[in-house]
Amino acid sequence: MPETTVPAIPPTPPVALQALLAREDLALRRIAGPRGPGIAIHWAHTSEMADPYPYLLGGELLLTAGVHIPEAAGAGPYADDYFDGYVSRIVAAGGAALGFGVAPVHDTVPRALVAACDRHGLPLLEVPPQTTFSAVARAVWQLMAQARLAELRRVTEAQQSLAAAASRPDPVPSVLRRLAQHLGGRAVLYGPDGTEVAGACREAVTGTGGEMREGLRAALAELAGVVGPAARPRPSSATDAFGGTHLAVYALGAGEGFVLGVATPRRDPGDHTIASVAAVLLALLTGEHQSGAGAARSSALVRLLLGAPPEEVAPLLGAGRWLVVHARPEAQAPDPVAASALGAALGSPLVDLARDVVRVLVPADREPGPQPGWTLGVSAPAGPREWPAADTQAGRALARARATRVPLLRHAARPALADLVPPVDAETHARTLLAPLAGQPALAETLRGWLSLHGSWDRTAVALGVHRNTVRQRIARCAALLAVDLDDPDVRMELWFALRRGDGAGT
């Protein structure tokens, strides 16, 4: 059955028993048990318990001086029974090897222990008198550190290699080839319907002619279904085995349905990290920007750049009416990663990162909510022709939200007295009244913000991102140029009316 959980394994790569035996300073000697190169040690543990089973986690080199051995177990049938039980318990607990220290308790390794280790297939090492158990444990950890460093280098080189492959003209096949090379096995990309889209293979998991063995191919495809789009619930990854070959599959992205499958003759500690990097790259290469929605957005952008009107392009984006959202982070200037994350949280990939503001175009049926760490201003729903006005609304809503220290503020669209005046007359009046401020947008914007915030110097300074003294100087300049008393509420009302029409009047 496939495994969908990661087993508990040590954080560092295991040490080959052969490497430990090769340390001349330890002078260890293997005197019983298997001699193959595949025996690995995960850690060293010293115990003089007659039954060490409860204290072993598996994979240990168990070190003992034989203090636990009773005098009656020196020879004869009792010795055979004692050591047979002792070794069988170590094997049952998953012990990788047994190290027996010669002197001061025993002059030699008991022959019954040697025979028991041979019977149960447990490697038995003789530890000479001059070698302390702490020296053996230290050597194990040194070898682990070396293995860890080598594995980190291997993973780093694989990451760089996979990233380079993703930039090639044929990125998907290139990434699969590099992944198969680094893992020494088979890498397969499955489509949303479960069919094999592309693959690359090394000889380690192939049959005659270099093709993947049919049974193995079927087993990997079946495992891919465990994380496929039809799986409920859908885990992000799963593992299994087939005839000694390790299988692993990874779901690519949240909804595209592609799956990466990997078959390897062995599974080293860094293999999961390398495969995960490949999965991320393949998710980007096969993600939504490669789908119909992404192609439609690209087409819309090209048409806009080539002069098509917004109302002609808008249907390609999949919504009739939209909201414009302006957002600023509370702590620092926005960056591309934060901007993309905000767009994902608001449910839209249409994100524009400016110097200090992120703008997001959101379908009107998706109601934006407050986002932790951000201040948002939201426009009224708008069609394509109204996008510029909605952009202005969102900017003003953001300024008021920052001034009033609320996380989100929506533009309030409601009938006003200005609707009673014909637009042409209103714009002519605004142009005439505000003529002294023409060509000085900073003054007009400061006056607009100051009036909208009821003459508050501090809140206007926060909204505009300037010092309060700058606000005072600009407002005084506006009063002088306009030759009005800004303390008069009638004057403020008339100027506010004009500034509301000022965008169309050229201020």
pLDDT of residue 299: 72
pLDDT of residue 38: 81
**Conformation bin of residue 209: beta by default, left when phi > 0, alpha when psi is -120 to 50:** left
State the maximum Cα–Cα separation within the chain, in Å, rounded to a whole number.
Answer: 118
Q: Report the candidate in 127, 135, 83, 85 with the shortest Cα–Cα distance to residue 106.
A: 127
Is 344 a residue whose pLDDT tops 80? Answer: no
pLDDT of residue 292: 53
SS3 per-residue string spanning 93-138: CCCCEEEEECCCCCCCCCHHHHHHHHHHCCCEEEECCCCCHHHHHH
Per-residue model confidence as pLDDT tens digits over 450-488: 998 889 999 999 888 899 999 999 999 999 999 999 988
Neighbours of 213 (CB within 10 A): 17
Decide if 17 contacts 123 (C-beta within 8 A).
yes
pLDDT of residue 436: 92
The 8 Å CB, 24+ separation contacts for 203-208 are: 204/264, 204/265, 205/245, 205/263, 205/264, 205/265
| CATH topology agreement for domains 15-143 and 168-289 | no
pLDDT of residue 26: 95
CA 298 to chain centre: 26
Query: Rounded distance, CA 214 to CA 441, Å?
Result: 72
Least confident of 110-114, 222-226, 256-260: 256-260
Q: Report the candidate in 264, 217, 263, 255 with the shortest Cα–Cα distance to residue 236.
A: 255
Amino acid at 92: A
Q: Is the pTM of this model over 0.85?
A: no
Every domain of the chain and the residues it spans:
15-143, 168-289, 321-410, 417-505
The CATH number given to 15-143 is 3.40.1390.20
Q: What is the overall mean pLDDT for the chain?
A: 83
Decide if 275 contacts 248 (C-beta within 8 A).
yes
Backbone angles phi, psi at 322, to 5 degrees: -135, 160
Q: Report the candidate in 335, 453, 210 with the shortest Cα–Cα distance to residue 199.
A: 210
Greater confidence (436 vs 166) lies with 436
pLDDT of residue 295: 62
Mean pLDDT of 236-245: 87
Mean pLDDT of 10-26: 85
Ranked by mean pLDDT, which of 21-35, 307-321, 397-411, 416-430 comes out on top?
21-35
Pick the CATH number of 168-289 from 3.30.420.40, 3.40.50.11890, 3.30.450.30, 3.30.1330.200: 3.30.450.30
Res. 209 pLDDT band, cuts 50 70 90: very low
Which DSSP symbol is given to 475? H
Per-residue model confidence as pLDDT tens digits over 271-281: 888 988 888 88
pLDDT of residue 339: 78
Backbone angles phi, psi at 354, to 5 degrees: -95, -165
Least confident of 63-67, 148-152, 410-414: 410-414
Structure tokens belonging to residue 115: 């025979």
Least confident of 32-36, 69-73, 129-133, 277-281: 69-73
Is 377 a residue whose pLDDT tops 60? Answer: yes
The yes or no reply on domain 417-505 and CATH 3.40.50.300 is no
